[in-house]
Amino acid sequence: MKLLLTRAEPDNQRLAQALAERGIDSCSVPLIETLELPEGPEQRRLIMDLDLYQAVMVVSPVAARIGLQRLDRYWPQPPVGVEWYAVGAGTGALLRQAGLSARWPCDGQDSEALLRMPEWQRLLELPDLRVLIWRADQGRELLVERVHAAGGRVDCLALYRRQPPAGLDVQLREAARAGVGGIVLLSVQALQNWHQAAAADWSQQRHWRCWVPGERVAQHAIGLGCSDVQLCHGADDAAVLAAVQSD
């Protein structure tokens, strides 16, 4: 079965090489285009006030890369007393490379797994909790809701925008003609972009075997009519490779 890889091109190339070493053919069609947002006064203030927060959540490698560039611009040394959390190991590795003592869940790579961490349970009990989330201009509302529900204050630093690439419908039809029978989808937005771009071809493409990182994306896929949904139990290359090879 030929797989369609749908992350950013560098990530797809890395995963494609690992798949090829295992005899699995693939092709690449990124489903999300990422555009860095300009830094305005409010975004600058959130970075400069970083020492007012007990914790910073970083939701993706893109958020980590852009956020770390801005952190370096305004903080020659990271502020003391701030706890750093990443949604997944890839994001956490980027934070650690920058000298930050980042933590991430070991039992999943989504918001739910992050919030299950014992460290987060302790933070949510603080009466004056303040949390900063590095993210896109939308998404990860569960993190916001959970902090608010615990009586904490949460601010979101929007670092980038995600949108469907131009010509996505044509690329998906070309992938279908090339013999694709499976697709790796690692976010709800990627799933939605695929569904919208497939349009009239959705009745055929929804039967591709669909690998997703966790239950939340799986339920969205099933709700849209995907007939063969497989869990990767994570969004990193190792989780995807393990899931694909186990089939």
Please tell us whether the domain made up of 2-32+166-246 is placed in CATH 3.40.50.300. no
Question: Are 90 and 61 a contacting pair, CB within 8 Å?
Answer: yes
Q: Is the pTM of this model over 0.85?
A: no
- Strand 130-136 and strand 55-58: pairing? parallel
Q: Residues 31-50: pLDDT tens digits? A: 999 999 999 999 999 999 99
* Per-residue pLDDT tens digits for 181-194: 999 998 899 999 99
Q: What is the pLDDT of residue 147?
A: 84
Can you give the pLDDT at residue 140?
Answer: 65
Report whether 139 contacts 163 (CB < 8 A): no
Q: Give the mean model confidence (pLDDT) for residues 197-211.
A: 97
Beta bridge pairs of residue 209: 182
CATH 3.40.50.10860 for domain 35-162, yes or no, is no
Confidence of residue 106 (pLDDT cuts 50, 70, 90): confident
Average pLDDT (207-212) is 98
Closest to 6 (Cα-Cα) out of 159, 215, 222, 197: 197
Domain boundaries defined on the chain: 2-32+166-246, 35-162
Q: Do domains 2-32+166-246 and 35-162 have the same CATH topology?
A: yes
